[in-house]
Amino acid sequence: MHPQLFRYAQGPYGGHEVLLGASFDLLIWFVLAAMAVIIFHAVYKSG
Amino acid sequence: MSDPHTSGKAVPRHDLIDRLYHWVMAAAVFILMGTAFLPKFGIKFEWLTAHWISGIVLGVIVVLHIFRAIIWQNFMAMVPDGKDIVGAWRTLVGAFADTRAPAKPGKYNVAQKFYHLGIAIVILTLMGTGGAMLFKIDTPFWKRNPYVLTDEQWGLIYTVHGFAAMGIVAMIMIHIYFALRPDEWHLTRTMFRGWMTRKEYESHHDTLRWVPDTEK
Amino acid sequence: MIVRDIMADFELYQPTQLKDAFALLDQYGKDAWKMGGGYDSLSWFKERHKQPKAVIDLGGIAEMKGISETADGVTIGALTTLTEIENDPIIKGKYRVLAEAAAKVASPQIRNAGTVGGNVSQDARCLYYRYGLPCYRAGGNTCFADTPEGVNREHALFESDRCVAVSPSDTAVALVALDAKYVLRSSKGERIVSAEDFFVGPKVDIMHLTSTRPEEILVAINIPKKWAGSAFYFEKVADRNTWDFALVNVASAIVVKNGVIEDCRIVCNGVSAVPRRLTAVESIVKGKPMSEEIAKLAGQSSTRGARPLNYNGFKIPLMANLVTRAIRDAKV
Ligand SMILES: Cc1cc2nc3c(=O)[nH]c(=O)nc-3n(C[C@H](O)[C@H](O)[C@H](O)COP(=O)(O)OP(=O)(O)OC[C@H]3O[C@@H](n4cnc5c(N)ncnc54)[C@H](O)[C@@H]3O)c2cc1C
Ligand code: HEM
């Protein structure tokens, strides 16, 4: 599955799509970003 | 051993009430994150009641904290000033070349100030969107009324709540990392016992930029 | 434009061994769809509201079929059809309430192919959800039924939370009355859960009616001996007498000694997202004579705490009457 940014669905009246919320597939990317910051800082400080 | 408070060794940093604010906020945020995300990892339970109640607790504490900070505390202590920016610049450049060391900080260093600004924005966003989402649920105190907004507006609110929720997970991870670092431990400890030693105060802080309450 | 009545593409797998089915579930994860008889699944596919990548037709797995007596009671393979249950001598003889419930499902054609595993695992029938609207159950952020103008006469009286859909299964009430256990297996092992853990309401999971995990298959349903040969009652009230879902149904299993109710289990469906076991009613009637008055009292107390929506208030007296009859008219 391709990670998506948002959750969409067909609107109640058909036709257009409505936005439902954020895609929680992204959570892992937020966690990885935080880990990258932490590792970068730890390495920088110890170096 | 002499009592550090009377011997002048202890420099007060966080009043009991502020420490309580911090730890109640921490507990609320942990409950909010756990109730929001554990079910998404397959750990299913009745999450919503604990979520909205913690959300309201967090909201009340944050509002009290804001009032206290504006009226009774030195609000500017958490606002980045010119010296902070210059210092941050020197640290950044210093990573690549030799420059003069940045000036010592006042009560909070520049990283703390920007972190605080960031987490304040994220928490206020979660409170604002979460507060609106309270209209979507039934509680013992009110009935749901989704008609206060349109489907599109709700979509936007859920999206912002969702992104801020994932953002706070990342921010809290970074916060805990810094709190646990040995070179930051003297600060973390003040969130438990309220004070730091005079030696810590003098070696880590500019005593002109931060004059403790007891010494004013 | 939504294309209706033409299914989207999917990979169809027809394993004959459970282990192959587990391997497929592990491979496809949430993109896999388990299929028994297909009577719930195919309508989702035709409407294109659910578009799995892979459909795993369990129909060829022999070890999931059939009914056999065990030392502890009886075990029913999840792929056993509703017709087989309806006609099985063991079920008819000792656990009649389940045969009666199975016989009331849908139509003979559907019962011939529909499986008991599929029947207890079937999805909600809320009009809005089935129509493909982006409601909570579909992963959205609203409920279209719990609204002032919403068509909600078929919806829940109890334990709803944002979503007001109900469990539509007829066999589920009978199985809960019989205290059945659900055998869920995956490549990682097996867990045997009771109804309280098998059926889930929206408070715990707003998108599913059972706790079956994506990698698990319901392989069998075990019914303990304890209720064999008890007094039973099953009744279903629907808008039409045949080929229709229950508005409310009831099942009871009652142990009567010398005219006194020694033990009982009473369950209603169509009133909440999980088959609702009426534990408060059970404790009222236990130890009491099996009489018209006690049955009436039980009926009245069964609806305590009901929170009707705009158009389903009629379910309150309906449920009360059905519970009364489930006690008064239960027969060995
Ligand atoms: C016109 C019509 C009328 C109906 N009327 C009634 C009625 O009056 N009463 C009633 O109770 N039902 C009724 N139904 C529902 C029907 O009885 C059920 O759809 C049928 O019993 C489901 O069995 P199945 O094997 O065909 O399910 P499937 O469609 O194969 O599966 C249903 C669901 O269960 C899951 N599933 C199936 N088997 C397993 C398994 N072994 N392990 C894990 N998950 C599994 C599937 O993934 C799917 O989500 C009606 C259906 C129709 C179409
Ligand atoms: C750390 C802070 C918070 C986190 C991590 C968080 C996270 C989440 C998440 C992930 C959801 C699911 C949203 C979706 O399905 O799109 C949610 C829903 C919800 N949140 Fe929060 N939230 C936080 C703070 C708050 C606050 C402060 C409030 C209220 C004051 C609140 C009220 C709600 C409500 C009512 C819902 C449910 C809405 C519904 O299901 O319709 N949240 N939250």
Question: Which of C205, C206, C208 to mutate against chain B (most B CBs within 10 Å)?
Answer: C205
More confident residue, A18 or C109: C109
Whether residue C275 sits in one domain with residue C306: yes
Whether residue C101 sits in one domain with residue C31: no
The DSSP element (H or E) to which C158 belongs, if any, is: none
Q: Are strands C217-224 and C73-77 parallel, antiparallel or unpaired?
A: antiparallel
Tell me what pLDDT residue B1 has: 46
Looking at all shown ligands, the one closest to residue C55's CA atom is 1
- Amino acid type, B139: T
The SS3 call for residue B14 is coil
Q: Is the pLDDT of residue C216 over 90?
A: yes
ipTM of the complex: 0.91
Dihedrals phi, psi of B130, to nearest 5 degrees? -65, -40
Question: Which ranges of chain B does DSSP label H, i.e. alpha helix?
Answer: 16-37, 48-71, 82-94, 110-133, 151-180, 185-193, 198-204
Question: Which ranges of chain A does DSSP label H, i.e. alpha helix?
Answer: 27-46
The SS3 call for residue B11 is strand
Whether residue C90 sits in one domain with residue C48: no
Asked if B45's CB is within 8 angstroms of C200's CB, the reply is: no
The DSSP element (H or E) to which C159 belongs, if any, is: none
Ranges B53-57, B109-113, C115-119: which has the least confidence? B109-113
Residue that is written with structure tokens 């719990």 in the block: C146
Q: C-chain residues within 8 Å CB-CB of B155?
A: 141
The SS3 call for residue B185 is helix
Q: Are strands C11-13 and C54-57 parallel, antiparallel or unpaired?
A: parallel
Residue B99, in any domain of the structure? no
CA distance B166 to chain A (A): 6
Q: Is the pLDDT of residue C5 over 90?
A: no
**Percentage of residues in chain B having pLDDT higher than 70:** 96
Ligand 1 site residues (CB inside 6 A) read C 33-41, 58, 78, 105-106, 110, 114-115, 117-119, 121-123, 168-170, 212, 217-218, 243-245
Quote the distance between the C-alpha of residue B6 and its chain's center.
30
Asked if A14's CB is within 8 angstroms of C139's CB, the reply is: no
Domain containing C15 — which CATH number? 3.30.43.10
Which domain range does residue C195 map to? 65-121+166-328
Structure tokens at C251: 């099942």
Locate the chain A residue with the closest alpha carbon to B166: A27
Tell me what pLDDT residue A14 has: 67
Locate the chain C residue with the closest alpha carbon to A22: C140
Q: Which residues contact B50 (CB under 8 A, 6 or more apart)?
A: B31, B35
Among the listed residues C225, C199, C233, C210, the one whose alpha carbon sits nearest the alpha carbon of residue C99? C233
Residue C151, in any domain of the structure? no
Q: Is the pLDDT of residue C2 over 60?
A: no
Q: Which residues contact A47 (CB under 8 A, 6 or more apart)?
A: none
Question: Which ranges of chain C does DSSP label H, i.e. alpha helix?
Answer: 18-28, 41-47, 82-87, 89-94, 96-103, 108-113, 116-121, 127-130, 170-177, 195-198, 279-285, 292-302, 315-328
Residue C137, in any domain of the structure? no
Compare CB distances from A38 to B155, B156, B177 and report the shortest one's residue: B177
Count of domains for chain C: 2
Residue C305, in any domain of the structure? yes
How do residues C161-214 score in pLDDT, each as one tens digit? 999 999 999 999 999 999 999 999 999 999 999 998 999 999 999 999 999 999
How do residues C26-35 score in pLDDT, each as one tens digit? 999 999 999 9
Q: B-chain residues within 8 Å CB-CB of C161?
A: 48, 137-138
Asked if A9's CB is within 8 angstroms of C141's CB, the reply is: no
The backbone region for C319, taken as left when phi is positive above 0, alpha when psi lies in -120 to 50, beta otherwise, is alpha
Q: What confidence tier does B4 reach under pLDDT thresholds 50, 70, 90?
A: low
Whether residue C51 sits in one domain with residue C113: no
For residue B23, list its beta bridge partners: none
Among the listed residues C39, C204, C51, the one whose alpha carbon sits nearest the alpha carbon of residue C122? C39
Cβ–Cβ under 8 Å, residues C173 and C275:
yes
Question: Which of B43, B44, B133 to mutate against chain C (most C CBs within 10 Å)?
Answer: B44
Residues, chain B: 216
Asked if A21's CB is within 8 angstroms of C134's CB, the reply is: no
**Percentage of residues in chain C having pLDDT higher than 90:** 93
Query: Is B160 near ligand 2, meaning CB less than 6 Å away?
Result: no
Q: Is the pLDDT of residue A7 over 90?
A: yes
Domain containing B126 — which CATH number? 1.20.950.20
Report the C-alpha gap between C4 and B157 in whole angstroms.
32
Q: Is the pLDDT of residue C307 over 90?
A: yes
Whether residue C201 sits in one domain with residue C182: yes
How do residues B124-155 score in pLDDT, each as one tens digit? 999 999 999 999 999 999 989 999 999 899 99
Burial class of C172 by CB neighbour count within 10 A (0 to 12, 13 to 18, 19+): buried
* CA C263 to centroid of ligand 2, rounded, Å: 44
Helix and strand totals (H; E) in chain A? 1, 2
The structural domains of chain A, with segments of one domain joined by +, span 6-46
Q: What confidence tier does C102 reach under pLDDT thresholds 50, 70, 90?
A: very high
Which domain range does residue B63 map to? 8-74+106-215
Report the C-alpha gap between B145 and B135 in whole angstroms.
5
Q: What confidence tier does A3 reach under pLDDT thresholds 50, 70, 90?
A: low
Per residue, the 3-state secondary structure of B67-97, as one string, reads HHHHHCCCHHHHCCCHHHHHHHHHHHHHCCC
Whether residue C25 sits in one domain with residue C107: no
Tell me what pLDDT residue C313 has: 97
**Domain edge (last residue) among C41, C60, C79:** C60
Average pLDDT (B156-180) is 98
Residues, chain C: 332
Tell me what pLDDT residue B121 has: 98
How do residues C49-82 score in pLDDT, each as one tens digit? 899 999 999 999 999 999 999 999 999 999 999 9
Q: What confidence tier does C4 reach under pLDDT thresholds 50, 70, 90?
A: low
Residue B79, in any domain of the structure? no
Note whether B79 contacts A: Cβ–Cβ < 8 A.
Answer: no
Count of domains for chain B: 1
Mean pLDDT score of chain C: 95
Whether residue C88 sits in one domain with residue C15: no
Q: Is the pLDDT of residue A47 over 80?
A: no
C-alpha distance from residue C176 to each of B96, B138, B181, C19, C253 (Å):
70, 29, 54, 29, 10
Q: How many CB pairs under 8 A join A and B?
A: 60
Whether residue C323 sits in one domain with residue C188: yes
User: CA gyration radius for chain B?
Assistant: 21
Closest residue CA from atom 33 of ligand 1: C122
Tell me what pLDDT residue C315 has: 98
Report the C-alpha gap between C124 and C169 in whole angstroms.
9
Residue C317, in any domain of the structure? yes
Whether residue C54 sits in one domain with residue C175: no
Cβ–Cβ under 8 Å, residues C27 and C72:
no
Whether residue C91 sits in one domain with residue C217: yes
Q: What confidence tier does C1 reach under pLDDT thresholds 50, 70, 90?
A: very low
How do residues C121-169 score in pLDDT, each as one tens digit? 999 999 999 999 999 999 999 999 998 889 999 999 999 999 999 999 9
How do residues A11-45 score in pLDDT, each as one tens digit? 767 667 889 999 999 999 999 999 999 999 999 88
Q: How many CB pairs under 8 A join B and C?
A: 30
CA distance A9 to chain C (A): 6
Cβ–Cβ under 8 Å, residues C172 and C180:
no
Looking at all shown ligands, the one closest to residue B135's CA atom is 2
Residue B14, in any domain of the structure? yes
Whether residue C93 sits in one domain with residue C32: no
Among the listed residues C102, C249, C266, C74, the one whose alpha carbon sits nearest the alpha carbon of residue C177? C266
CA distance B48 to chain C (A): 7
How do residues B60-116 score in pLDDT, each as one tens digit? 999 999 999 999 888 888 888 888 888 888 888 877 777 777 788 889 999 999 999
Residue B93, in any domain of the structure? no
Among the listed residues C47, C87, C52, the one whose alpha carbon sits nearest the alpha carbon of residue C67? C87
Whether residue C99 sits in one domain with residue C47: no
The SS3 call for residue C129 is helix
Report the C-alpha gap between C47 and C138 in whole angstroms.
14
Report the C-alpha gap between C159 and A46 in whole angstroms.
55
Residue C49, in any domain of the structure? yes
* CA B10 to centroid of ligand 1, rounded, Å: 71
Residue B26, in any domain of the structure? yes
Report the C-alpha gap between C92 and C86 in whole angstroms.
7
